[in-house]
Amino acid sequence: MTIAQIIFILLTIAVFTVAFRQFKRVVDNIKLGKSEDIAGDSVQRWQNVALVAFGQKKMFKRFIPAILHFFIYAAFLMTQVELIEIFIDGFFGVHRFFADKLGVLYTMIIGFIEILSVLAFVSTLVFLWRRNILKVPRFIKPEMNGWPKLDGNLILYGEILLLIGIFSMNGADVVLQKLDPAHYPDTGTLPVSSWLGPALFGGLGEGALHMVERFGWWLHILVVFGFILYLPYSKHLHIFFAFPNVYFSKLKSRGEMENMPEIMNEVKSMMGLIEDTGDMSDDIPEFGSRDIRDLSWKTILEAYTCTECGRCTSECPANITGKKLSPRKIMMDIRDRAEEVGTKIRSGNPEYIAEDKKEAGATLTIDNFDDGKSLFDYITNEELYACTTCNACVEACPVMISPVEPILEMRRYDILTNSQGPSDWLPMFNSMENGGAVWQLPDERGAWTKEIEA
């Protein structure tokens, strides 16, 4: 076993060990949410995965960005085929393991990867131009300052490094096939490297060519390793989470809101639709969501799935008219709060145990956690009450995220549990309670029916 093999094996083990811990951290954060039963037709769910998550169906509502994104997405998928060979070569100390076994098919596969890689390179440059020079409005909203902007650029820079690695490796390899065919098996005529390799590296000696080929090989795998370690901290986690998020997305109409059984039964009782049992609990329930543990795990999964593309915000009528609400920011804030809560719980610091739940030897968990903060420290009432629940953001999201649900949950907490809310909403609430209508009427809503009965 060579030193290069040993380094590769140790590095691979280290990367996947660290990555496992990082991904577990994210999954643990998602589990901080309350349980939610996912029901519905599994066939429809798999169809959504095939069309929306895998097929990028909703992306094509904006055709040009969708095509550019598809080139990068397709290149990413196809490059994994070549990555399998790199792992085999790295573990067993061989070179181009599949070349002499697949023959023409190998040439076709690598050739297709090269074509997609060129298209991905062009798309990457366009995306960098759109973000940093053209400055498309949805990419320069306030919530995109700092890390979100850098995050969006880093992956594009990484894509360029990956492509440099691929073409350095393939280009030098093509030239070496003629100089040392015993160690460099024939890959056939490749659409890019067969002319780019001789053009760039044709004048180099065999030793220099070998260094370029190894440089490209190691650059390729190191970028991949870096990408694996980087994903759990990036919006690009959607590459993996888009699939489960789409699968578990609700199948009912997007405009249908979840009822609260306690409120619904109380209203039915007032209207005489069900018998009033008079069995009222001494404990007043909390309605809606104050913090991460009050949200569904599915909502937190959506927060980690958010691509930060801003399509939701660009379609939001409240945001378009200058209001502070940005559906994208809502999901980013939920993810940030989940990270904060998860980090504090894993610290095990008893300082974060709620005062009324502190006991000798108590272990810090999500059930007794209290750091004196909540989602309302991230999301303002101005944002929450600007939402018109039109579901434009839900319709626009390419991975079926619903920012409306956490907005409604937080509103419900503020109004029903905190007895707060916008002052100009109070007359409506009073009218609903006293007259059964949103308008202030001198008589009860159904008073006119008494004249008919008479």
159-170 pLDDT tens trace: 999 999 999 999
Which range in 163-172, 285-294, 440-449 is most confidently predicted, on average pLDDT?
163-172
Taking residues 85-107, report their average pLDDT.
91
Q: Which residue has the higher pLDDT, 145 or 253?
A: 145
Quote the CA–CA distance of 310 and 301 in Å, as a whole number.
Answer: 18
10 and 123 share one domain: yes
The upper half-sphere exposure of residue 28, i.e. CA atoms within 13 Å in the direction of its Cβ, equals 16
Quote the CA–CA distance of 384 and 407 in Å, as a whole number.
Answer: 6
Average pLDDT score over the chain:
90
pLDDT at 433 over 80: no
Is residue 254 in some structural domain? no
* Residue 158 banded pLDDT, cuts 50, 70, 90: very high
Is residue 260 in some structural domain? no
* Residue 294 banded pLDDT, cuts 50, 70, 90: very high
307 and 199 share one domain: no
pLDDT at residue 27, rounded to an integer: 96
Taking residues 310-331, report their average pLDDT.
96
Range of the domain at 176: 3-30+62-247
400 and 315 share one domain: yes
Share of the chain above pLDDT 90, in %: 74
Is residue 194 in some structural domain? yes
Longest dimension (CA), the chain: 107
20 and 127 share one domain: yes
Is residue 394 in some structural domain? yes
Number of domains in the chain: 2
pLDDT at residue 449, rounded to an integer: 78
242 and 291 share one domain: no
Residue found under tokens 């370029």: 212
**Using CA atoms in the order 396, 400, 404, 406, what is the torsion angle rounded to 10 degrees?**
-150
Instruction: Please report, for the domain that includes residue 413, its CATH number.
Output: 1.10.1060.10
pLDDT at residue 266, rounded to an integer: 74
Say if residue 281 is exposed, middle or buried (CB neighbours under 10 Å; 0-12, 13-18, 19+).
exposed
Quote the CA–CA distance of 310 and 396 in Å, as a whole number.
Answer: 9
149 and 234 share one domain: yes
